[in-house]
Structure 1
Amino acid sequence: MGDGVQWMVGAVTSSGWMLDVHFARGIDAEELAVRMGARREAAAGPMTDAETEDLDVDGYPGRGPGSAVVRVGEHAGWAFAVLYGRYHDRLGEVSRDGVEAVHYHHNSEHPPTTVLYARDGRTVCGYGLGEERVRWGEERDRFLPDLVAAGILNPDGDTYRETGDYDRVERKRLGLAVFEERLGLSLPRTVLTEDRLPVYAVMGSPADDFEEISSWAGADGRPLPDRRLGLIPAGLRRDYERATAPRWRERGAHHRVAVPTLRAEAVLKAPGPGTEH
């Protein structure tokens, strides 16, 4: 099975705070990207995790145009898509037509890390790592025997086996191990280090004003955005709006905030079921 997925606990992408991965069994990597919002045959790259920083995607809800990309691949019988940018839960769409899917979402600024399993367009089961007594899905107790066997929960499903001091990272690893063992889930560690994978835009592409901003960038001597990916980098859009809107300063006087990008701001996760922030 290779590297499994337990190593993902606490791991982050080049963003420095997030690791968001959709897995799918029954479709290939491009189909996974398409179900997440990409245009077919519109891959750019390949790129490493570190190289995605140059895409300057905007990952902050409510500010800027909003964009997200995925790096995709296949491993151990699963297609996978690592997300960069705006929070983008597509579990229902990914799992339609009998496909099995898992969504792992870790955001260090908005715990808990959540893991959800779906099939045929419905959420089967899932929970937050470290919050396993709050379980979701049509079969919320499907993995309860495994959580009991792992020493996380008591058989009642509502109380924890350990109530005193314990290794929280180890507890989360054990919770994720249930998905690894039950589903044969695996992801290579090299995905976050050296692997060069195809990149697809899944949100914010194609931008309606792509041609307009590209023309302005070319005339101003700026690097042109990637035409195949179809994304307008958040920084380029900000500069374009400043340069072309005569009253930009007045408009921004009430709430002048620079558009955050993955290099500077955290991706805010919409609260999941049963989760409070």
Structure 2
Amino acid sequence: MSDGIQWLVGLENWMSSVVFARGISAQELALRMGADPDGATEPITDAQAWALDMEAYRPDGDGDGVVRVGESAGWSFAVEYGDSTGGDLLAEISRDEVEAIRYVPIQEHPPATVEYARDGVALCSFGLAEENQRYGAEPDLLLPDLIAGQVLGTDGKTLLAPRDPDGDDYEDFKVTYRRTLGVIERRFGLSLPPACLKEGLLPAYAVRGTPNMRT
């Protein structure tokens, strides 16, 4: 569990969203994100996934989206590539008593976001460095954790971690992001080793459009 997920702050490509699910297999996660059950590639690396023939936009159809899936620390996970919208189905992914979390690592502004769903309901979500603005059916579900993790003051509104969005250096944002990801990591027992995500060989599925899945 030493790897955790705080290192995800350093993901270089903002389109590499990560979806976690507890209670289903990695293949089932891919299916709930829109994959063909018989559409898996041979296991490939992160670099090979980005090298797949994907179109970001088509005037007469969907852009291409791909996921690579695996399992770590009792959770299945899917890494999204290209124009994947599979993670937008988080409530659907979480049906039948499944838990699902999505981390979208957009940098600076708009901020990275964390979303949590369980049993078919989108329970809570918020932007990192904007944790005082929370949404969902139970927006304050993680509030005690955010307060205990010194992300928010006891009023649930005061942001405690330093940040300087008007400066040239966004290291302050990274401090906030890591602090919040640490809260999520501890609350849900998430751990995703960097090597598993990057160099690890994982099957890939098309979840949107018509990408060429030949590696």
Give the TM bin, normalised by the shorter chain.
Answer: 0.7 to 0.9
Select 2:183's aligned residue among 173, 178, 199: 178
Mapping for residues 109-120 of structure 1, pairs under 5 Å: 111-120=110-119
Q: How many residues align?
A: 207
Distance 1:185 1:35 in 2: 20
- Asked whether 1:77 is paired with 2:74, we answer yes
Mapping for residues 14-29 of structure 1, pairs under 5 Å: 16-29=13-26
Distance 1:100 1:170 in 2: 27
Letter in structure 2 aligned against 1:56: D
Q: How big is each residue's C-alpha offset from its partner over 1:123-167, in whole Å with a ceiling of 9 and x where there is no partner?
A: 112211111001111111111122112222112212223577683
- Asked whether 1:188 is paired with 2:193, we answer yes
How does the TM-score come out when normalised to structure 2? 0.87
Partner secondary structure for residue 200 of structure 1: strand
Q: Which ranges of structure 1 fall in alignment gaps of 5 or more residues?
A: 208-224, 230-277
Letter in structure 1 aligned against 2:209: G
Mapping for residues 1-277 of structure 1, pairs under 5 Å: 1-12=1-12, 16-60=13-57, 65-88=62-85, 89-108=88-107, 111-161=110-160, 167-205=172-210, 225-226=212-213
**CA spacing shift, 1:102–1:163, aligned 2, 3 Å:** closer
Distance 1:180 1:46 in 2: 27
Higher mean Cα deviation, 151-160 or 77-86? 151-160
How does the TM-score come out when normalised to structure 1? 0.68
RMSD: 2.4
Name the larger-Rg structure: 1
Partner secondary structure for residue 107 of structure 1: coil
Q: How big is each residue's C-alpha offset from its partner over 1:92-132, in whole Å with a ceiling of 9 and x where there is no partner?
A: 11101110000111123752100111101111122111110
The answer to whether the 8 Å contact 2:102/2:116 transfers is yes
Q: Which ranges of structure 2 fall in alignment gaps of 5 or more residues?
A: 165-170
Distance 2:59 2:180 in 1: 33
Shift of 1:75: 0.7
